[in-house]
Chain A
Amino acid sequence: MRGLLALVPILAGILLGPSPVRAEIAGLVGRWAAETPSGRVELLVEPAGRGVALRLARAGRVLFDASFAPTDRPGVLEATATGLFSILGSRRAPANPLEGEELLWAREAEAALIVSRLAIDAGRPSIERAQLLRAGERVRLRLERLVGERMVVELEAELARTGR
């Protein structure tokens, strides 16, 4: 009997799949914006299955635009396929940086969602990430980029909910 009970969480895991994103992350859902010295920042977060779809743009330039689904690793999300790849039946987005593709992933860090990207740019690593944290009625955004040895903060802003 005890053996059967031990199987319950395993069976539940198989039936339910990876855990959905946490409530704090779900609190990011919506349309957000802020005016910054480097231009208008716009963020759209929508539920997408058990994960989220996210679009972040600064001064009209799209920084991140992807859907993320939970993986078997708690709190880690992978980019899901869109367009032709999803039509062809692939769940995962192509993500081999050695073949010129971008590796996009996200992780839940306490109440924040951190979305990251690795690409190989002219043979050197290019890593960017956006940290999103619900702070009261706003979303606190921090954009970082790998410069030399360190992640350097490029922008910090507080985004307010917007109807547009």
Chain B
Amino acid sequence: MTVYVIRRLLGILPVLILVALGSFLLVHLVPGDPAMVMLGNDATPQQIQALKTQMGLDRSLPEQFALWGRQVLRGNLGESFFLGRPVTQSLMERLPATLQLALLSLVFSLLIGIPAGILAAVRQNTKWDQLIMITAMGGISIPSFWLGLFLILVFSVQLGWLPSGGYAPLWDDFWGGLRILVLPSISLGFMQAALIARMTRSSMLEVLRQDYVRTAKAKGLDWWRVTLRHALKNAMIPVITTIGTAFGVLLGGAVIVEIVFTYPGLGRLVVLAVQRRDYPLVQGALLLASVIYVLVNLAVDLLYGVFDPRIKYE
């Protein structure tokens, strides 16, 4: 198990370096002189040269990357063109909101998706199975922003049950914050719930066909023990491995859902930054989100090692 952990930790280092390189190069793909892009068309040649020297833009690309990398490791992601403040500060203010949304969406998708998938598998080819699979097929086809708009129309505007926007950190006001997050989490998590239901069903069917499950049934064990004790744990292994990927999808999808619900997370900040061509902010947000995704996947990989005994004894 220790070897497994060390191997996984070493494995993410090249990925993190490449992620940083990708984020760095992205801004350098902008057509034209980066200093001129930052200062605008009215900038004088002296101002452009001064900014280039200050930011190291007159150095070679590897030198610039090394300089930028050192700053990033110190937590400095540069300064936002339009906000006029450090990018790190702007991102850290918004990050908790986006993380809460992504995490709650993940919880929703697991709470709905896994039981639905299990039910569809144990009731294969019945009306339950067909209903769940048709709903899941619909779920993976409906855009999250469209679902969000309809949830707002029904539950906020017409019924008045839930708010259509706002924000309250869960640690300040748990129930208030949760009420605000219900509709955005459902919009964002519904598609993942559908994917998880499909994967759980497929995985459960595979496991329920195994000889050891047939043996357990032949021994006279009741349905609950066979399904939940013997089959479920093994069926969950492929599902767990996709939790990391699901989180990444939710982190990216949160960008869109935050616009629908005017939720003050990273998403709205990034969209505004794109409209204003605020490249340091876009770059910083992309790097931050990617690093979080890599670390979450690492945590899931290590958790996978706990669930699958074959990994422990590798």
**A and B part of one assembly:** no
| A contacts, CB < 8 Å to B | none
| B contacts, CB < 8 Å to A | none
